[in-house]
Amino acid sequence: MQKLKRVLNIKVSDRKQLIELMQALGELDADIIAESRPGSVKIRIYGEKDEVRALTKKVLALTSGRNPHK
């Protein structure tokens, strides 16, 4: 199957939120590259179509404060 890439740009309100997001991303078993900039994080997710879709949902759940493991 073909490898896909999805790019998410997530806004963060402060340094604490940035650190928490980066730590949570580090705990995911995934092919992810995250780059932080003042006020935002650029996240690139790589993988198969279904894997990218599932990881995108988990990352968006992390940023909205919901539990991504449900």
Between CA 39 and CA 55 the distance in angstroms is 22
Domains of the chain: 4-62 (3.30.70)
Is the Cα torsion angle 58, 63, 69, 70 positive or negative in sign?
negative
> What is the band of 3 on the pLDDT scale with cuts at 50, 70, 90?
confident
- Per-residue pLDDT tens digits for 53-70: 999 999 999 888 654 444
Q: What pTM value is reported for the model?
A: 0.83
3-state SS record for the chain: CCCEEEEEEEECCCHHHHHHHHHHHHHCCCEEEEEEECCEEEEEEEECHHHHHHHHHHHHHHHHCCCCCC
pLDDT at position 1:
66
What's the pLDDT tens digit per position in 7-57? 999 999 999 999 999 999 999 999 999 999 989 999 999 999 999 999 999
